[in-house]
């Protein structure tokens, strides 16, 4: 079991460019979560899928952020027109259905917007 896999580990974009972050959840896990982490705000919830269906995107900045889960083996988080304030570590986590207090996190993608 390789755990939750996130790619790339680091991404540097210029202001206004697009960034796509990838997540492969643990096989058999039906819930997938996206969080972002900064020193100031800590871990902020972005969005959540269950059985590939979007359940809660209340943490997503609506205008530029979007997330998809086209199949059970991967999810993507896309940020359009990146801004310096989007710089953060973006963490993906998965869990078993019924065990959503136990999240297994990936190593994260560190996004730096210059």
Partner 1 sequence: GQGVEQPAKLMSVEGTFARVNCTYSTSGFNGLSWYQQREGQAPVFLSYVVLDGLKDSGHFSTFLSRSNGYSYLLLTELQIKDSASYLCAVRSYGSSGNKLIFGIGTLLSVKP
Distance, in Å, from the CA atom of 29 to the CA atom of 14, rounded to the nearest integer, reads 34
57: left (phi over 0), alpha (psi -120 to 50) or beta: alpha
Asked if 100 interacts with partner 1 (CB under 8 A), we say yes
Stretch that binds partner 1, among 11-19, 21-29, 50-58, 71-79 (CB under 8 A): 50-58
Which of 30, 65, 75, 108 touches partner 1 (CB under 8 A)?
A: 108
Asked if 34 interacts with partner 1 (CB under 8 A), we say no
Asked if 29 interacts with partner 1 (CB under 8 A), we say no
| Cβ 53 vs Cβ 65: under 8 Å | no
Report, in Å, the least distance between residue 85 CB and partner 1: 18
Nearest alpha carbon to residue 29 among 58, 5, 56: 5
Which of 45, 52, 87, 112 touches partner 1 (CB under 8 A)?
A: 45
Who's near 53: CB < 8 A, 6+ residues apart? 69
Binding residues vs partner 1 (CB under 8 A)? 4, 33, 35, 41-45, 48, 50, 55-56, 58, 91, 100-108
């Amino acid at each position: 079991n390789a755990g939750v896999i996130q790619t790339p580990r680091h991404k540097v974009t210029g202001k206004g460019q697009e960034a796509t972050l990838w997540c492969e959840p643990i096989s058999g896990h039906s819930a997938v979560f996206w969080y972002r982490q900064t020193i100031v705000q800590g871990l902020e919830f972005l969005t959540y899928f269950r059985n590939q269906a979007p359940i809660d995107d209340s943490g997503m900045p609506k205008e530029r952020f979007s997330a998809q889960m086209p199949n059970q083996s991967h999810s993507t988080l896309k940020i359009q027109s990146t801004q310096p304030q989007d710089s953060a570590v973006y963490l993906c986590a998965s869990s078993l259905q019924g065990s959503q207090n136990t999240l297994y996190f990936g190593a994260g993608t560190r996004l730096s917007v210059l």
